[in-house]
Structure 1
Amino acid sequence: MAAAFLTHLAGDRIEVRSAGSAPADRVNPAVVEAMAEAGVDITAESPKILTTDAVRASDVVITMGCGDACPVFPGKTYLDWQLADPAGQGLAAVRPIRDEIRSRVEGLIGELVATERN
């Protein structure tokens, strides 16, 4: 959801990569529906495994509870967003998670754009 919102809201201003340390075999259908409600189509998305190369190529790494499974490199900015896990949750439980993620992504975009201007 975070990557989809970042791509949707920032457009081509920010290059987005999305991956997980233990990705599911498919995106939770409730997540797909919740994102559609917010105007973001993620029906073509599929979970991807987090690679060392993806982290190495990134300036900012947002983690969501991956702990020691996430590679760490000096000089990167790491933010760990503690959020409820939508895995196995229905639409009613996913909506507040979606809304919190959107809020955090909007804040992140503001920070990244402000840093870019300086």
Structure 2
Amino acid sequence: MLKLKVLPIAIVFMAFLNSCSQRIADLTTVSTRDLDDRKTHVLLERYVKGTDSSIDNILFIGPWSSPDIEDAIDDAVREVPGGEYMKNVVIRERRWGFLLMSFRTFTVEGDVYGIAPSEKSN
């Protein structure tokens, strides 16, 4: 008897809670600022993740704000001290909603590179 009461509630809940994720891009190298090519760059850390999220709309009104891929890249690079840019980057977008609100997130994953420690003082 309890299962018959829970099943409709679960179906309604699942109808209002949904999610979708897709891979947007695979990039060899990405940076949000100018790089000094005269210096030697080295791998600082592998598989670093950065995100940027926002509320997409409320009560079907919106978008209120928009996540930014550039902010997600900056978030990942800032995770590593001395980070300058990323290589082997995967960018994903995820959208999910609950009742009358929806959210959107960009996730950036990749390897962070920076200036070799011996060249930082130059």
TM over 0.5: no
TM tier, shorter chain? under 0.3
Q: Of Structure 1 and Structure 2, which has the larger fraction of its residues in helix?
A: 1
The structure, 1 or 2, with the larger RCO (C-alpha pairs under 8 Å, 6+ apart) is 2
TM-score (norm. length: structure 2): 0.21
Higher CA-based Rg: 2
Q: Of Structure 1 and Structure 2, which has the larger fraction of its residues in strand?
A: 2
TM-score (norm. length: structure 1): 0.22
